[in-house]
Homo-oligomer: A and B are copies of this chain.
Amino acid sequence: MKTDTQDALWLDAAQQRAWRAYLVGTTLLMDRLDRDLREKHDLSLPEYEILVRLSEATDRRLRMAALADSLSHSRSRVTHTVSRMERAGLVTRVACVSDGRGVEARLTDEGFRLLEEAAHTHVRGVREHLVELASDDDFTAVGRVFDAVTDHLVSAQPGLDIR
């Protein structure tokens, strides 16, 4: 049990700098990666991520919920995004055999082709604007930190709100 009479602790100067650097850097980086994909391939970053997840799945199809979970996006968001992608011909919806409620999104050949193209742009962007700017150790540390964040936030249900 935490005696949080005093958890209104501030961040020290170094922590604050790091936190703001992360906020601003993330804003710029996501903006840039998204913009590049849009300009060159008419694809948003979230759409790209969906293509990636589907391309890795067996038979290139995934339940909507699985897709949402793997991206940590809301179900609703995935529904809307997949609808747009379906309209664009990148994906089709297939009713799930084992579960009458279920729907699977399946990558079309066109979607797969687009992914192959867009991957060049995306990977180059990630390398150029992130990976190459950091030492291997620092980049590994970033991974470690956000793995911990993910573990922490997926296990701690938002609804519990222990005080």
Q: Contact residues of A with B, CB < 8 Å?
A: 7-11, 14-15, 17-19, 21-29, 31-32, 35, 49, 71-73, 119-120, 123-124, 126-131, 133-134, 137-150, 152-154, 158
In the complex, the answer to whether A149 meets B129 with C-beta atoms within 8 Å is yes
Question: Could you say how many copies of this chain the assembly holds?
Answer: 2
- Give bound CA distance, A25 to B71, whole Å: 10
In the complex, the answer to whether A124 meets B7 with C-beta atoms within 8 Å is yes
In the complex, the answer to whether B28 meets A131 with C-beta atoms within 8 Å is no
- Give bound CA distance, A137 to B18, whole Å: 11
> Closest residue of chain B to A17, judged by CB?
B143
Additional A-B contact list (9), CB under 8 Å, known A26-B26, A133-B149: A7-B128, A9-B127, A24-B146, A25-B153, A27-B71, A29-B146, A32-B153, A133-B148, A139-B145
Task: Say how far A119's CB is from chain B's closest CB, in angstroms.
Answer: 8
In the complex, the answer to whether A126 meets B29 with C-beta atoms within 8 Å is no
Given contacts A123-B11, A152-B133, contact A18 B143 (CB under 8 A): yes
Given contacts A154-B28, A158-B32, contact A21 B138 (CB under 8 A): no
